[in-house]
Structure 1
Amino acid sequence: MSDLFAPVRAALAQPGRPSSDYDLNTGIFLPEGRKLRPAGVLVAFEATEMGLRLYLTKRASHLKHHPGQIAFPGGKVDPSDDGPIAAALREAHEEIGLPTDNVEVLGTLEAHETVTGFLATPVLARIHTPFTPRPEVGEVEEVFTVPFAHVTDLSRYRVEKRRWRGTWRSYYVAPFGPYYIWGATARMLRALADRIEADRKAR
């Protein structure tokens, strides 16, 4: 099953570029020198008989930031973390019960700037053996998986928009069943899908 990860490794070898929640919104002025808080999110895949599956979470509906949204396990870099990778691994253990020693880090994508002032590094990883997810009480409402084929297929993505802070904001969405994958999560996955497509065209 290790060959299932070949497209991920190949995608990491392709050039990328930084992304942000503002990519699809022209005319927004972002001041230079703005302070962004570093963060790490774990884009973790597990090999199954049905192919690679990506682990995502549904955040609890009462949270202050991004309530009820679909997200990667992850969060801000704490002083005790040795950078975004360590933060992503720690948060994945806390949020979904994924043991750190069950994870192989494959690489990272370019950091993504969020509207909430974070600079989030997507950490692509392989889960070696199946585990039983344990949603963090009070933080995570649900843990679920999505097929690799879904999140890396550019045709699954579309652009939608909504009013935000008095103006229209456009963003990517890649819905899967009852799960509305959008915003920063969809944008980071779209960056991976772009690299997968670039590798396909280069062959």
Structure 2
Amino acid sequence: MIVPDPLSGVITALGRVSSSSSDFDLNPDVILPEGRSLRPAGVLIGFVERAGGVQVILTKRSSALRHHPGQIAFPGGKQDEGDSDVIATALREAHEEVGLHPDMTQVLGTFPCHETVTSFTMTPVLARVDPAFRPVSEPGEVEEVFEVPLTHLADPANYLVQSRQWRGQRRHYFVVPYGPYYIWGATARILRGLADRMAG
């Protein structure tokens, strides 16, 4: 008997043609300057199979950080000179931030880049994670590592659009709340892209 791959929907989503995204997708009045300088970054969307189903690994950033304190994020960060590519960046950062060794991952592919308001061009790297993985937080960067069911994140109905004032303008963005976690901004936008691709 052939057991279906629990990540078959994710793998199918990777095969669908899609365009890049940005933090400005819900703000069509924003005109981005041509020739702007964007720094490459890589983030890891890690999928791990648990007893209750496939989970997605997320972090809550330390409240002591200068940038985005306390926000929900994927493991990841800016590309360093020693990284061969953004996939290597995502794997290195995941190892540093949550103790996920590259040997415990199987990279499935990448999504198109996501441009952030902080001038990064962020590449989501999708990977299957060994179920034996147990997170070890880097206390200087990560306050908490937690997991969210893929079924929750793959349902477009769980996403809301909210707004707030930012640099004198009203900025709209996606949120996908889960329990006590307020997942918003670039993280929610990338997850919404995953949900849309999985829905077909």
TM over 0.5: yes
Query: Quick check: 1:173 aligned with 2:178?
Result: no
**Partner amino acid, structure 1, of 2:28:** T
The SS at the match of 1:3 is coil
C-alpha distance in 2 between matches for 1:103 and 1:17: 26
C-alpha distance in 2 between matches for 1:102 and 1:110: 24
C-alpha distance in 2 between matches for 1:129 and 1:152: 20
Q: Counterpart of 1:100? A: 102
CA displacement 1:162-188 (0-9 Å, x = unmatched): 011111100000000000000000000
Greater than 4 Å deviation, 4+ residue runs: none
Q: Counterpart of 2:57? A: 55
Please, which runs of 5 or more residues in structure 1 have no aligned partner? Answer: 199-203
The SS at the match of 2:152 is helix
Q: Counterpart of 1:201? A: none
Query: Does 124-133 or 64-73 show the bigger shift?
Result: 124-133
The Cα of 1:63 is off from its aligned counterpart by: 0.9
Residues 56 and 150 in structure 2, CA contact (< 8 A), matched pair in contact too = yes
The Cα of 1:129 is off from its aligned counterpart by: 3.1
Between the aligned residues of both structures, percent identity stands at: 58
C-alpha distance in 2 between matches for 1:27 and 1:154: 24
C-alpha distance in 2 between matches for 1:168 and 1:47: 39
Q: Counterpart of 1:140? A: 142
Query: Does 122-131 or 153-162 show the bigger shift?
Result: 122-131
**Partner amino acid, structure 2, of 1:12:** L
2:114 to 112, 115, 127: 112
Residues 14 and 195 in structure 1, CA contact (< 8 A), matched pair in contact too = yes
**Partner amino acid, structure 1, of 2:10:** V
Would you say how many aligned residue pairs link Structure 1 and Structure 2? 198
CA displacement 1:58-88 (0-9 Å, x = unmatched): 0011211111000000000000001110000
**Partner amino acid, structure 2, of 1:87:** T
**Partner amino acid, structure 2, of 1:160:** Q
**Partner amino acid, structure 2, of 1:70:** I
**Partner amino acid, structure 2, of 1:64:** R
Q: Counterpart of 1:23? A: 25
Q: What value does the CA root-mean-square deviation take over the aligned residues?
A: 0.9
Q: Counterpart of 1:88? A: 90
Residues 95 and 135 in structure 1, CA contact (< 8 A), matched pair in contact too = yes
C-alpha distance in 1 between matches for 2:21 and 2:83: 23
The SS at the match of 2:49 is strand
2:164 to 162, 165, 185: 162
The SS at the match of 2:6 is helix
Please, which runs of 5 or more residues in structure 2 have no aligned partner? Answer: none
C-alpha distance in 1 between matches for 2:134 and 2:20: 33
Residues 46 and 130 in structure 1, CA contact (< 8 A), matched pair in contact too = no
With the length of structure 1 as denominator, give the TM-score of the two structures: 0.96
Q: Counterpart of 1:197? A: 199
Matches within 5 A, 1:60-79: 60-79=62-81
Residues 62 and 142 in structure 2, CA contact (< 8 A), matched pair in contact too = yes
C-alpha distance in 2 between matches for 1:82 and 1:156: 36
Residues 50 and 131 in structure 2, CA contact (< 8 A), matched pair in contact too = no
C-alpha distance in 2 between matches for 1:131 and 1:109: 24
